[in-house]
Structure 1
Amino acid sequence: MSLPFDEFFLARQPILGRDQHLVAFELLFRTAGATEANVTDDEAATAAVISHASQLGMEHVVGAQLAFVNVSEAALMSDYVRFLPPDKVILEILETVKASPALIARIEQLRALGFKFALDDIVAESDDFLALVALVDVIKVDINAVEPRRLPGLTASLHLLGKTLLAEKVETLEEFRSCLALGFEYFQGYYFARPTIMSGRTIAPSEMAILQLLKLIDSDADNVTIEVAVKRDALISLNLLRLVNTAAAGGGDRIDTVGQALASLGRQQLQRWLQILLYAAPGAKVEMNLPLLQMATARGKLLELMSLKLHPGQRAAADTAFTVGILSLTDALFSLPLHAILDTVDVADDVRAALLEREGEYGDMLKVIELVEKAKSGKPLAAALRRIDMSVKQLREIEMAAFEWLNVLAQEVH
């Protein structure tokens, strides 16, 4: 059975290490037309992932990170699984797979070719688990499917097997800390993007300096005023110069002074890089393997490209869309309510409506991206795409262009 390829979009779900840096993405194909079951349980979905990823080159899909790819029994026994690069992927054996002698022999054959494996959604040590565990490198535990009182015991028994343990569906900081204490090495879920509002928290001076610069740009201050403000903060100047000397910034000759940087970038590009700097530690190099920075920057680029697709040539609208995307996670970044952050920056009414209420066209585009991040398929995504008059094929093309831009940026600022 096959499903029309143009119906599929790609979801990349981040997998983090103990230091909360990105180590991998789980790749999932979803559709805006079929039901969830038709996608996740059908061999066509795995074939689509492998076909698309191999055509593009896995490095274009996940950059420097590894890719976890779900594989059914049919996919494992197929020839097309060999199209994946063994050094870039971990084949994730679905919990529905039965450990037949033929399957075990096939896994051993693929391991001899350099492939690594993970076992998915482990909640107990079943017969199939025991038959396969010696052949895998990573064991994934769905922490929502295991009773909290059973999780320490299960984790302890799995540790004795000497495998890397991955906690999936980690959605809160408390869950992350609990799994960290239990010895999990990888973590999958969006706990890092959920705001933990801290009473009495204020914006730090380094953060405020960037927000004030953004305010100057939005108020159309003159170049001299902006240059003086940038030079007043040595760390901002340093990181700005690092960023403008990247291929992703479109730079050619090396730029060595703040004045040159401002003249080269222009107002809109300066605004963009300052927004990216919000997610970097003061004085530190911008690290694209920080999940919140990666996610916010991806949102910015995705919304920018969506705006250009919907309104060709309207650069100002595209820049506004980038702003909406990258500011949409600042509540998680600053541990402050979003409305409090927006009160420190002058933003247009349509930007505020998109960020606070998910209203207007920018809000509709942001809804689409949030559904994609969560790999939500079926009617919700179909309805969201209809509201902005965009096809799934166009969405996937935009995703690929955005991922490529992020990969270039990551390489250049490394």
Structure 2
Amino acid sequence: MSTTPANAAACPASNTSGQATVAMIARQAIVNAQQAVIGYELFNRSRTGIGHTAATDVILVFTALSHAGTEELVGKKLIFVNCTHESLSGGHLELLDPDKVVLEIPPLGHAAAQEVETRLPILMGLRERGFHLAFNHTVLESAYAAWLPLADYIKLDLSVLAPDQLAVLIRYAARNSQAELIAEKVETAQQYDMVSSQGVQLFQGYWFARPSLVETKLLSPAQASIVHLINLVRKQASTDDIEEVLKKDAGLAFNLMRLINSAGFGLNREITSFRQAVMLLGLKKLFRWAALLLTAARTGAAPSSVGQTAVVRGRLMELLALESMPPEEADQAFVVGIFSLLDVMLSIPMESALKLLTVPDAVAAALLRREGVLGDLLTLAEACESSDDAVFHKAAGTLHLSSQQINMAHLQALAWADQMTE
């Protein structure tokens, strides 16, 4: 139902001629009132070609899911999939765990009066098999009265519904259905505030991922400490200086000690001093940890999904850079990606944010003006989150990267980001 994905992944599929093709599968986060991701809507963002029909969209999505695995695309979250009525009886539905899947059912247009009752047994059968069903706001019209009890979710498109219409629909849905409401195409904080104040609890849209310039604000204490730590690490400061920062921020120190003593490090004994932790981790890993921590530090201005988008970008850009660059330059690609939403995370313009940090000139040029190879990589990463195929293919061509390389790297980046941010 929505057409502006915020996090995109791409997975190979097969076409009917037997030749390999590439299905570009995009995902957009759906978040709750606490702005935590509860699910992802998946789309086919492949370039429209000869023989492409609406029915092929859902089939490509399911083919990609079966090829890549739901864990790589959506982790443990719900999967919202755009469907056609023709696709609802296909055998591809057998590939998925219905408990995790929300099928988005389109309206019937002018044929509604005749077709609602005809389609009802199919929809009831899907519900009985364990699938969740989502509809857009037209399910609240009288013609669809037979479908309304089947709705687990109802989507309200803020780009087509006026505020007074929204208010009426929200009240009607609350009285006449058990469905959870999802406000989609949420692009501003004002829109978010408007629908959440009326009781909507789930949200979807660009406001949860894309950058926006806002007024300069003071950094919170946690953010200030992380930024200070990042600067010290980039300057290769002494262990004493780094230890001093940790001693002054209990939250920062706690997170570092929890990391160093986690099972993943496999140490034989517990590390209890900051000095030991810093020396064991090393400056490169310490920087990466601090940068990831910054994506999770919030002031309330930016939703948590912004941090996850930044993590995906950083890892995607690093993996793609490793195709043609030495590790040191690929590390800079990670820095560009993870700092590409710094203006949103810190609630200040990007130029002001970069004045707080020590970054190489090439990183600053990429972030501010999309210059150089790092700028091209960032443009490509951003294009993977939108429906702008022209920008995507131009950036891929400039970098001499194939769709298959980008697809694989993006899947790996999504899986890595989900592990880092859970």
**TM-score interval, smaller chain:** 0.7 to 0.9
* Post-superposition offset of 1:200: 5.3
2:351 maps to amino acid = H
2:148 counterpart residue number: 133
Separation of aligned partners in 1, 2:51 and 2:186: 25
**Secondary structure of the structure 2 residue equivalent to 1:274:** helix
Is contact 1:230–1:237 with CA below 8 Å preserved after alignment?
yes
Report 1:256-295 matches (<5 A): 256-257=271-272, 258-281=274-297, 290-295=304-309
Q: In the TM superposition, what whole-angstrom CA distance separates every residue of 1:187-215 from its partner, at most 9, and x where no partner exists?
A: 00121345565545122332222112111
- SS for the counterpart of 1:23 is strand
Give the conservation status (yes or no) of the 8 Å contact 1:368–1:381: yes
Match of 2:7 in 1: none
Please report the TM-score for the alignment, with normalisation by the length of structure 1. Answer: 0.87
Aligned twin of 2:21: 6
Sort the Cα spacing of 1:112 and 1:302 in 2 relative to 1 into closer, same or farther, 3 A. Answer: same
Q: Does 1:387 align with 2:398?
A: yes
What is the Cα deviation at residue 363 of structure 1? 1.5
Question: 1:251: Cα distance to partner?
Answer: 2.3
Contact 2:26 2:385 in 1 (8 A): yes
- Are the structure 2 counterparts of residues 157 and 407 from structure 1 closer, same or farther at C-alpha, using a change threshold of 3 Å? same
Q: Indicate which of 236, 241, 246 corresponds to 2:252.
A: 236
> Which amino acid letter does the alignment assign opposite residue 358 of structure 1?
R
Where does residue 145 of structure 1 map in the other structure? Answer: 160
The C-alpha deviation readout for 1:263-291, integer Å capped at 9, x for no partner, is 33221111111011113348xxxxxx931
Root mean square deviation of aligned Cα = 2.6
When structure 1 is superposed on structure 2, of 44-53 and 339-348 the one drifting more is 44-53
Equivalent residue for 1:29, pick from 44, 58, 78: 44
Aligned match of 2:120: 104
The within-5 A match list for 1:327-338 is 327-338=339-350
Cα distance, 1:79–1:172 mapped onto 2, change above 3 Å = same
State the partner residue of 1:304. Answer: 318
**Matching residue of 2:407:** 396
Q: Secondary structure at the match of 1:20?
A: coil
Partner Cα separation in structure 2 for residue 72 and residue 196 of structure 1 = 34
What's the % identity of the aligned pairs? Answer: 32
SS in 2 for 1:69: strand
> Following TM superposition, by how much is the alpha carbon of 1:154 offset from its aligned partner in structure 2, in angstroms?
2.1
Q: Report the CA distance between 1:155 and its aligned residue.
A: 2.0
Secondary structure at the counterpart of residue 26 of structure 1: strand
Say which is worse superposed, 392-401 or 256-265, in terms of deviation. 256-265
Q: Mark the CA change 1:334 to 1:322 in structure 2 (over 3 Å): closer, same or farther.
A: same
Amino acid at match of 2:101: V
Q: Does 1:85 align with 2:91?
A: no
Residues 10 and 30 in structure 1, CA contact (< 8 A), matched pair in contact too: yes
Partner-residue secondary structure (3-state), 1:144: coil
Residue of structure 1 in register with 2:12 after alignment: none
**CA distance in structure 2 between the partners assigned to 1:158 and 1:71 by the alignment:** 22
Number of aligned positions between the proteins: 396
Q: 1:38 to 1:202 in 2, by over 3 A?
A: farther
Q: Which residue of 2 aligns with 1:160?
A: 175
Residue 184 to residue 405, structure 1, CA distance change in 2 (3 Å): same
- From 235, 239, 249, give the equivalent of 1:223: 239
TM-score by length of 2: 0.86
Unaligned ranges ≥5, structure 1: 283-288
1:164-175 aligned at under 5 Å gives the runs: 164-175=180-191
| Counterpart Cα distance in 2 of 1:80 and 1:124 | 25
Runs of 4+ residues over 6 Å off in structure 1: none
Contact 2:106–2:135 (CA<8 Å) still a contact in 1?
A: yes
Change (3 A) 1:142 1:171: same
> Is it true that 1:342 corresponds to 2:354 in the alignment?
yes
Structure 1 equivalent of residue 266 of structure 2: 252
